[in-house]
Chain A
Amino acid sequence: MSTDILLDVQNVTRRFGGLVANSDVSVEVRRGEILGLIGPNGAGKSTLFNLIAGAFPPNEGSIRFEGQDIARLSGPARCRLGIARTFQVPRSFDSMSVLDNVMVGAFAKEPGSAAARRVAYETLAFCGLQQRAPAPAGELTPPEKRRLEVARALATKPKLLLLDEVMTGLTPSEARLGVELVRKVRDQGVTVVMVEHVMEIVMPLVDRAVVLNLGKVLAEGKPRDVVRDDAVITAYLGERHRAA
């Protein structure tokens, strides 16, 4: 059982000043799955996401990736181990072309530029952006920028891909394409953890869901079971239903 755990977050606590953003959170990510990280605003999703990506270290607890404790490793070091991420607000390199953006990612594993360019082209084609390769990244449309984020992260040849609200703000048809892409990524053998707000899109896509609320894990399991969980309904769905 233990061998198919790719990422093991154990009893992690993270405080910002007096605010406890994550309190004693434990999450296991299995190799090859798509895990959804959901919860209402302020639940601590982004904090957990950033702890795994290495934006800041936890105050307590351990984060193990393939058995190695990475809690104190820098972002770049985690990237080399095989963890890649996207940003909620796309952060493209706007003075560079789309291809060059993806090449930066490819250089993480390929020191030579010819090889990196090849990887970048392949990744762009995989993400359906090859037509835009020579365009300046600043000129992409918002959905294209999301794809570029994913392509750039994939070019680092990750084992674990962290997606931060990649579906937010997309039209339903754009979101369907996005879902397709995430499935394709998983079929390549990449494990995916996605933070998502839009339940309707996430639930059919993910294998398992972890629901956070007020910095703690509220529920965990198959999407079908999670949606029926009473605590989840009051904390999250209830609120949403009222809003709708």
Chain B
Amino acid sequence: MTDEALNLPPAFGMLPRRRNQLLVAAAVFAAIAVSPFAIKDVYLQNVLVLTLLYAAVSQSWNILGGYCGQISLGHALYFGIGAYATSVLFVTYGIVPWGGMLVGGILSAAIALLLGYPCFRLKGHYFSIATIVIAEIGLLLVHNWDFVGGALGIQWPFGSDSWATLQFARDKVPYIHLALALLAITWFVTFLIEGSRWGYWWRAVKDNPEAAESLGVEIFHSKMAAAAVSAFFTAIGGAFYASFLAYIDPESVMSFRFSLLFALPAVLGGIGTLWGPVVGAAILIPLTEITRSYLGGSGSGIDLIIYGGLIMLVALAKPEGILSLFQGKRQKAEGRS
């Protein structure tokens, strides 16, 4: 049969949908890259850095939780490993954070594989609770481990602004670009995976493991691969966060709150989608930061009320995520054509 008889789209070369996604990504990331020219306010710049960071880490979480369907509520562990590896290597051994980032990422991926071995036998809530418990054990151990500062944490030394040590005390703009680079890389990696064999396998594992197996998909290997990639990029996010704060302690990088904060943007935006974590973070993080600073500061509780209410609202009104608002329209349009 000829291609025309099959109604084949140009199979060699990129699909139009994917090409458009790349163009949109390029435009969005370019706009963010030049945004510091318009956004001079340090507070807003801070919010932007955090938004980009959470978008990137949530995208990393999305690889395992969204695409492969393994709901981890313990990603704070990998975030913490990245933050601690970078801080210890820099403060104790004088190795620049770039090295620590890589070490933290590889260490996290290795630990994810080690933990995946027993954990991926567990299903549903048993898996999710095991991930919480493992992250809590990690938190307890770090709390009581003097070599990494115990409960006091690690203070980065003051130094001059430098791209080598990733310290910028005066000007926050480099952090925007760093966080943006992190987001762009995780987004692009997810984009590549989504179009590849692994991406298809992961979604098949999520939707129906038995059917996936009958089509030659090795379920265990698929989950392990997703866990390793996901942990690697989560740790890079943690490394960045440590250099951004220049001070870490167990609670500020490894508490359970973080595990939820990494999953939330993906869930709100649209789980298992390329733009879900980005859209989710773009709404959630500014909202959190603004309610926290304008409505009586943290501790009053009003920020939690708004935050909790919003999560409930989205979960109930738009369970497929905010992004599905647009996708519904697009699918209808495609169906008509």
Question: B11–A152 contact, CB under 8 A?
Answer: no
Which residues of B sit under 8 angstroms from A146, Cβ to Cβ?
Answer: none
Given contacts A118-B11, A130-B7, whether A80 and B203 have CB atoms under 8 Å apart is no
Q: In the bound complex, what is the Cα–Cα distance between A242 and B196 (angstroms)?
A: 55
Q: Which of B5, B201, B215 contacts A156 (CB 8 A)?
A: B215
Question: B204–A76 contact, CB under 8 A?
Answer: no
Q: How many residues of B contact A (CB 8 A)?
A: 32
Name the segment of B139-147, B166-174, B205-213, B230-238 touching the other chain: B205-213
Say yes or no: is A68 at the interface (Cβ < 8 Å to chain B).
no
Question: A93–B214 contact, CB under 8 A?
Answer: no
Which residues of B sit under 8 angstroms from A64, Cβ to Cβ?
Answer: none
Q: Which of A108, A114, A121, A134 contacts B216 (CB 8 A)?
A: A108
Question: B214–A85 contact, CB under 8 A?
Answer: yes
Given contacts A108-B216, A111-B197, A113-B197, whether A95 and B11 have CB atoms under 8 Å apart is no
Name the segment of A25-33, A99-107, A197-205, A206-214 touching the other chain: A99-107
Given contacts A76-B216, A95-B207, whether A114 and B1 have CB atoms under 8 Å apart is no
Say yes or no: is B8 at the interface (Cβ < 8 Å to chain A).
yes
Say yes or no: is A220 at the interface (Cβ < 8 Å to chain B).
no
Task: Pick the most buried of A74, A76, A96: most chain B CB atoms within 10 A of its CB.
Answer: A76
Say yes or no: is B162 at the interface (Cβ < 8 Å to chain A).
no
Say yes or no: is B200 at the interface (Cβ < 8 Å to chain A).
yes
Within 8 A of A (CB), among B170-218: 195-197, 200-201, 203-204, 206-208, 210-218
Which residues of B sit under 8 angstroms from A116, Cβ to Cβ?
Answer: 197, 200
A127-156 vs B: 1/0 string, CB under 8 Å? 000100011100000000000000011001
Question: B211–A107 contact, CB under 8 A?
Answer: no
Q: In the bound complex, what is the Cα–Cα distance between A140 and B312 (angstroms)?
A: 31
B331, closest chain A residue (CB): A136
Question: A104–B11 contact, CB under 8 A?
Answer: no
Q: In the bound complex, what is the Cα–Cα distance between A105 and B8 (angstroms)?
A: 18
Question: A93–B204 contact, CB under 8 A?
Answer: yes
Which residues of B sit under 8 angstroms from A93, Cβ to Cβ?
Answer: 203-204, 207-208, 211-212
B60 to chain A, nearest CB (A): 20
Task: Pick the most buried of B195, B200, B212, B335: most chain A CB atoms within 10 A of its CB.
Answer: B200
A189 to chain B, nearest CB (A): 17
Which residues of B sit under 8 angstroms from A125, Cβ to Cβ?
Answer: 1, 5-7
Question: A113–B195 contact, CB under 8 A?
Answer: yes
Question: A104–B210 contact, CB under 8 A?
Answer: no
Q: In the bound complex, what is the Cα–Cα distance between A83 and B216 (angstroms)?
A: 10
Task: Pick the most buried of A92, A93, A118, A135: most chain B CB atoms within 10 A of its CB.
Answer: A93
Q: In the bound complex, what is the Cα–Cα distance between A105 and B13 (angstroms)?
A: 21
B197, closest chain A residue (CB): A107
Question: A152–B215 contact, CB under 8 A?
Answer: yes
Question: A96–B11 contact, CB under 8 A?
Answer: no
A146 to chain B, nearest CB (A): 14
Q: In the bound complex, what is the Cα–Cα distance between A12 and B1 (angstroms)?
A: 43
Say yes or no: is B334 at the interface (Cβ < 8 Å to chain A).
yes
Task: Pick the most buried of B203, B211, B213: most chain A CB atoms within 10 A of its CB.
Answer: B211
Q: In the bound complex, what is the Cα–Cα distance between A93 and B214 (angstroms)?
A: 13
Q: Which of B196, B203, B210, B219 contacts A113 (CB 8 A)?
A: B196
B98 to chain A, nearest CB (A): 33
Which residues of B sit under 8 angstroms from A107, Cβ to Cβ?
Answer: 197, 200-201, 215-216
Given contacts A91-B210, A153-B214, whether A104 and B200 have CB atoms under 8 Å apart is yes
B211 to chain A, nearest CB (A): 4
Q: In the bound complex, what is the Cα–Cα distance between A156 and B1 (angstroms)?
A: 19
Residues of A with Cβ closer than 8 Å to B?
53, 55, 74-76, 79-80, 84-85, 87, 91-96, 100, 103-105, 107-108, 111, 113-114, 116-118, 121-122, 125, 130, 134-136, 152-153, 156
Supply 26 A–B pairs (Cβ within 8 Å), ascending by A. A55-B210, A74-B218, A76-B213, A76-B218, A76-B219, A91-B208, A91-B210, A92-B211, A93-B204, A93-B207, A93-B208, A94-B207, A95-B206, A96-B204, A104-B212, A108-B215, A108-B216, A113-B196, A113-B197, A113-B200, A114-B11, A114-B12, A125-B6, A134-B335, A136-B331, A152-B211
Besides A92-B207, A100-B203, 15 other A-B contacts (C-beta < 8 A) = A74-B218, A76-B218, A79-B213, A85-B214, A87-B210, A91-B210, A94-B207, A96-B207, A103-B200, A113-B196, A116-B200, A121-B7, A125-B5, A125-B6, A135-B335
